[in-house]
Amino acid sequence: MLKITVGMATCGVSAGAAKVFETFRGLVEGNGGKATLGSTGCLGMCYREPLVEIDDGKNRYTYGNVDEKKAKQIFQGHVLGGMPVEEFLVLRNFTEGPEQGYLARQVKIVLRNCGYMDPDSIEDYERRDGYRAIRKVLAEMTPEEVIQVIADSGLRGRGGAGFPTGQKWKFGRGAPGDVKYVVCNADEGDPGAFMDRSVLEGDPHTVLEGMMIAAYAIGASHGYIYCRAEYPLAVKRLKRAIALLREKGYLGENVFGSAMCFDVKLKEGAGAFVCGEETALIASIEGKRGTPRPRPPFPAVKGLWGKPTSINNVETFANVPWIILNGAAKYAAWGTEKSKGTKVFAVAGRALRTGLVEVPMGITIGEVVNEVCGGIKGGKRFKAVQMGGPSGGCIPASLGGTQIDYDQITKTGAIMGSGGMVVMDETTCMVEMARFFLQFTQNESCGKCTSCRIGTLRMLEILEQIVLGKGKEEHLQRLEEIALFVKGSSQCGLGNTAPNPVLTTLRYFRDEYEAHIREHRCPAHQCPALVKFVISHEKCNGCMLCARQCPAHCIIGEKKQPHTIIEEQCTKCGKCFTVCNSDAIYKD
């Protein structure tokens, strides 16, 4: 019997997948015995959502951009007629089709199950080798052997800092304590990042299995998943997965019939960006205000409720079962000398193919943007990528040959971060980009230390003056001085890295700052205060469309005659530029 599967992750639902699912439900119920209907997580091709797969037992056909009308055509032609609807196909067996290039350079370890199974089915997970790794660990390996395998694999924490996971677990194992904790940091707060959300929505069991293995390795009996409440679907699927594990007796006492006791609780965070920092996260779980504390002592020695605590993020835990089953050497075969394995990126912005990609460490930034993601929309010029979120930095296209590994990215002034990658084209103003990210970190500062609380505010004030065309020459030196002070004197990682967007844009795009200050001009034509809209008399046909749409009534001219914008009256809303269908209006 044919199986119809609809991608029902957040990206799919927001694109209309719920209506598509209900359309197929009605068609399946009206044609009993022809097909079954199920759902899955994100395949990574967010730009093609909603996605629908038809599996006939021999081949798997993936359809993209499916709406209710297309769903009916697919059901009629493929399910009832037995013929794939070629015009809507994007993949055949995940190796052929128009979107094959998106997957060709990817290596799926963390995302090995996302989009390929029902995340609410523990049986589906077990059919894909789920919970084999924890069974192997409990039956065949000592905790020290588990830690050694993870260390030999070269797995580094995927939360941003890149600390060696095996070493962290070794500290946890060696820390004295009658009670120990394993914590999964799923507090993904970077603008444009959705790696953790997608993994939790598409494959929550692999994260839970990774936590079980970590608990065995360090001797923990309790676990917490700290997930932001803004991820309702991820929270729902985590709750379902935990409930299923308890029903089967996989959590609690005598895990998988062993002497190990381990249980997991879910803690929903309220969305504070600073709670991504591990000591602030611990405070939040304890019911306190989420503010960082000085280290040492480190959480591995004194963490949750004063007990030894090992904290890793979603992606780190998702790697662990695969490493245990396939071996450290196989994992370490991917990547570079100091950065092993793969990295998941949430690609957003101006790339042609935006979504979730998992690529081997060592691939270059340019290869991800131009080959995996198909280049830039509209044929525009690739300008830069923002990596590491608000704590990261802007890397120019001229450094597109930079390998993606922790050390090489750090050399650019950015950081790897948790995996956000915002792609920018020639229409992006780098000064405004720095202002946007600094405004975010300034708003999210916990306020505990003066250098971050006040320093980010002073930087933001300067940037706001510059984008308004009120910048002064001395602003650039002052901006850099404050940025370096904040970077060197803040108490936690948020403050230490908050100046990165400013420092990297000053380093690589200083000419744009100078144009804003000296020429009162935004080279990207994006800062409203520095943009002037002009109507070309050679191209204007006097259609009156812009005049009718102008909310400020500042466009004058007779019908079928070239029009003019009264600059003093113009509010620079850009409505005229948007509606003109003869390309007569341009930004100056």
Considering 307, 330, 353, which residue would you say is the last residue of a domain?
Answer: 330
Q: Using the Cα atoms of residue 21, residue 268, residue 443 and residue 523 in order, give the sign of their dihedral.
A: negative
- 99, 130, 145: which is the final residue of a domain? 99
CATH number at residue 49: 3.40.30.10
Q: Are 126 and 196 in a shared domain?
A: yes
Burial class (CB in 10 A: 0-12, 13-18, 19+), 426: middle
Kindly state whether residue 107 falls inside one of the protein's structural domains: no
Note whether 359 and 394 are same-domain residues.
Answer: yes
Q: What is the CATH number of the domain that holds 228?
A: 3.40.50.11540
* 385 found inside a domain: yes
Are 136 and 231 in the same domain? yes
pLDDT of res. 242: 97
The DSSP H or E segment spanning 266 is: strand 263-269
Q: Is 584 left (phi over 0), alpha (psi -120 to 50) or beta?
A: alpha
Task: Give a yes or no: residue 526 inside a domain.
Answer: no
Local structure of residue 380 (DSSP, 8 states) = P
Pair 36, 93 in one domain: yes
On whether both 175 and 321 belong to a single domain, the answer is yes
pLDDT the model gives residue 389: 83
Tell whether 464 and 373 lie within a shared domain. Answer: no
Helix %, strand %, coil % of the chain (to 5): 45, 15, 40
Residue 8 has a pLDDT of 97
- HSE on the CB side for 331, CA within 13 Å? 28
The answer to whether the beta carbons of residues 391 and 497 sit under 8 Å apart is yes
**Residue 548 belongs to what H/E stretch?**
helix 545-549
CATH number for 547: 3.30.70.20
Segment 44-55 shows an average pLDDT of 97
* 277 and 368 inside one domain: no
Does 116 fall in a domain?
no
| Mean pLDDT score, 532-559 | 90
| Phi, psi (rounded to 5 degrees) for 343 | -140, 135
Closest CA to 177 of 142, 216, 218: 218
Within-domain flag for 26: yes
Of 46, 336, 271, 40, give the one whose Cα is nearest residue 54: 40
Residue 113 in domain: no
The pTM of this model reads: 0.92
Residue 321 resides in a domain: yes
The residue length of the chain stands at: 588
Same-domain check for residues 86 and 133: no
Residue 435 is part of a domain; what is its CATH number?
1.20.1440.230
CB 380 within 8 A of CB 350: yes
Per residue in 396-412, pLDDT (tens digit) is 999 999 999 999 999 99
pLDDT in tens, 96-137: 999 999 999 999 999 999 999 999 999 999 999 999 999 999
What is the total count of domains within the chain? 5
For tokens 């350079």, the residue is 105
Q: Report the distance separating Cα 415 and Cα 410, nearest Å.
A: 5
Contact 509, 476 (CB under 8 A): no
What would the mean pLDDT of 36-54 be, rounded to a whole number? Answer: 96
| SS3 sequence of 340-376 | ECEEEEEEEECECCCEEEEEECCCEHHHHHHHHCCCE
CA dist 188 to 29, 283, 313, 346, Å?
A: 39, 17, 9, 12
Query: Is 144 within a domain?
Result: yes
The dihedral through the CA atoms of 434, 437, 440, 442 has a sign that is negative
Q: Of the residues 405, 425, 445, which one is the last residue of a structural domain? A: 425
| DSSP 8-state symbol, 226 | E
Q: Are residues 24 and 91 in the same domain?
A: yes
pLDDT of residue 331: 98
Q: Which band of pLDDT confidence, cut at 50, 70 and 90, is reported for residue 275?
A: confident
Tokens 């202002």, located at residue: 435
Q: Which two tokens stand for residue 407?
A: 């050390």
Q: Identify whether residues 67 and 157 lie together within a single domain.
A: no
CA pseudo-torsion sign 394, 398, 403, 407? negative
Question: Do the Cβ atoms of 169 and 150 come closer than 8 Å?
Answer: yes
**Which domain, by its residues, includes 284?**
122-330
- Cα 208 from Cα 223, distance rounded (Å): 9
Please state, in angstroms and rounded to a whole number, the distance separating the CA atoms of residues 422 and 543: 38
Q: 246-269, pLDDT tens digit by residue?
A: 999 999 999 998 999 999 999 999
Is 14 within 8 Å of 62 (Cβ atoms)? no
Nearest-CA neighbor of 311 among 160, 191, 197, 203?
160
Residues 397 and 466 in one domain: no
Place of tokens 């400013």: 502
Residue 287's pLDDT band, with cuts at 50, 70 and 90, is very high
Query: Which contiguous run of DSSP H or E holds residue 522?
Result: none
Which residues neighbour 287 within 8 Å (Cβ) at sequence distance 6 or greater? none
- Does residue 133 sit in the same domain as residue 150? yes
Helices in 345-499 by DSSP H: which ranges? 365-367, 406-411, 430-444, 450-467, 473-489, 493-497
- pLDDT tens readout for residues 560-580: 899 988 888 888 888 888 899
pLDDT over threshold 90, residue 448: no
Helix (H) or strand (E) holding 556: strand 555-556
